[in-house]
Structures are given as structure tokens and as C-alpha cells.
């Protein structure tokens, strides 16, 4: 499936970077969104097609609005939004500091809400578009040391379910990806390399997501569940 313009948050690393490469290979113009320009440049260096880079703080609705408007001015539309930006800090609840709690809730949940809000306006005007929310298995099953991380991901799940009802009579599709652990920087401070080597490759997960979102029903592939609301 080819989209003219795809915007991907968290594109500087992990699954966001992998999805950026895959959509680029499909011929889309990929808008790389993230906090760190150096990481976005690294992803861009591995793309074969057209791209643009936007530094954005997804926890700031004002900043999100400015960046989305800039993209729309340059490209006319955002045909697919991938909410991949995420933060995970894994500790027992009593060990979490307030700033760590705020960071996870703001990035994982509020960031997804803000980006979806801004992109959905144009999608409704055109009556077309696709939104893919990267939730993770922690949005379906509670795990120890993931109380707040799970809270943020369960929140994205509930948010997505509600938005799906709001757009039920449109041609806009919203999808949630619930995947198991991947070999990404999310775990660099919590697990040794021997354990993370057993995790899924984000490039493989990106292939599954792109393939699965072409379909209309719920699909189970390896450790990845793709829930397609429409």
C-alpha cells in the first residue's frame, strides 16, 4: 500500500525508524518526526526515497500543531500517521519518580492524542486516511515493573477504541499494534544484550504491521496483534 505522505513520530530509532524505511521503500514521502535531529538524520541516511525531518516534542500540543501545519503547507495532506514515539521506565511503582511518571504519560498517551487530533482534522475533510498507534502488548496485559507504562498504553488502547467509534461512518481507518518485546533502545538500561537478542527484530515487526493494516479484521501473527477497527 502506497501513501503519498506518511508522518511517523519516534522515527529516530527502533520501530519508528524501521517503519520509516519500509514506507520509503513503498514510494511514500516520509516525514520523520522526533526529538533528536541527529537520530532523525541517521534514519534519513538509510532511506532510499523522499523524506523530510521535523524536530517535535509530542508532549506539547502547540509544538505538534506547528509541525503538522508545516507538513500540510508543504505536502498538502498527511495520508498516514504512525504514532510510534514512546518512553518506557521499568521499576516497581514506589521507585518511580514524579518526572518519570509524567514523562511516560505525556509521551505515550498525550503525545498520541495530540498528534491524532491535529492530523484527524484534514483526514475528516478529505474523508480518507490511516492512523496506526503503536501500543505494545503492555496495552493488553499488565506486567510487574510496568504499572505506569501499562497505564499509558492501556490509555492509548481506550483512546483508539473511542476514536474508532467517532469515525465509524468515515473512510478513515485507525489501527492498533500490540507487539511483544523488540530489540530496541527501550530496554538498554534494563536488560543485558544476551536477553534482548531473543526479542523480535523491529524490521520484521514493521513488515507485519504494514502487511496487516491492509486488511479489515483482527490478525494474530507471531507475537504481534494488529487490531484494525475498520
Whether 51 is a known active-site residue: answer: no
Give yes or no for a contact between 139 and 88, defined as CB atoms under 8 angstroms apart. no
Picking from 214, 148, 206, the residue whose alpha carbon sits closest to that of residue 179 is: 206
Picking from 167, 146, 178, 71, the residue whose alpha carbon sits closest to that of residue 115 is: 71
* Strand-strand pairing, 129-134 and 172-179: parallel
Picking from 227, 80, 229, 79, the residue whose alpha carbon sits closest to that of residue 169 is: 229
User: Which residue in 54, 149, 178, 220 is the catalytic one?
Assistant: 149
Give me the long-range contacts of 210-218 (CB less than 8 A, separation at least 24): 210/1, 210/19, 210/22, 210/23, 210/26, 212/175, 212/177, 213/1, 213/130, 213/132, 213/173, 213/175, 214/1
**Active centre residues (catalytic):** 149
Amino acid at each position: 500500500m502506497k501513501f503519498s505522505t506518511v508522518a511517523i513520530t519516534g522515527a529516530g530509532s527502533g520501530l519508528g525508524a524501521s517503519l520509516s524505511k519500509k514506507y520509503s521503500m513503498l514510494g511514500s514521502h516520509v516525514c520523520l518526526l522526533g526529538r533528536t535531529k541527529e537520530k532523525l538524520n541517521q534514519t534519513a541516511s538509510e532511506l532510499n526515497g523522499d523524506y523530510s525531518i521535523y524536530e517535535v516534542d509530542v508532549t506539547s500540543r502547540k509544538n505538534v500543531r506547528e509541525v503538522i501545519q508545516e507538513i500540510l503547507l508543504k505536502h498538502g495532506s498527511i495520508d498516514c500517521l504512525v504514532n510510534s514515539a514512546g518512553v518506557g521506565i521499568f521499576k516497581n511503582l514506589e521507585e518511580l519518580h514524579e518526572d518519570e511518571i509524567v514523562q511516560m504519560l505525556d509521551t505515550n498517551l498525550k503525545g498520541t492524542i495530540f498528534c491524532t487530533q491535529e492530523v484527524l482534522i484534514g483526514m475528516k475533510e478529505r474523508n480518507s486516511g490511516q492512523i496506526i498507534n503503536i501500543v505494545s502488548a503492555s496495552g493488553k496485559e499488565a506486567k510487574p515493573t510496568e504499572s505506569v507504562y501499562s497505564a499509558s498504553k492501556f490509555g492509548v488502547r481506550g483512546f483508539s477504541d473511542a476514536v474508532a467509534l467517532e469515525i465509524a461512518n468515515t473512510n478513515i481507518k485507525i489501527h492498533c499494534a500490540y507487539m511483544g518485546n523488540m530489540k530496541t533502545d527501550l530496554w538498554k538500561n534494563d536488560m543485558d544484550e544476551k536477553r534482548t537478542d531473543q526479542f523480535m527484530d523491529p524490521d520484521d515487526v514493521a513488515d507485519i504491521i504494514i502487511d496487516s493494516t491492509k486488511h479489515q479484521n483482527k490478525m494474530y501473527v507471531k507475537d504481534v496483534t494488529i487490531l484494525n477497527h475498520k
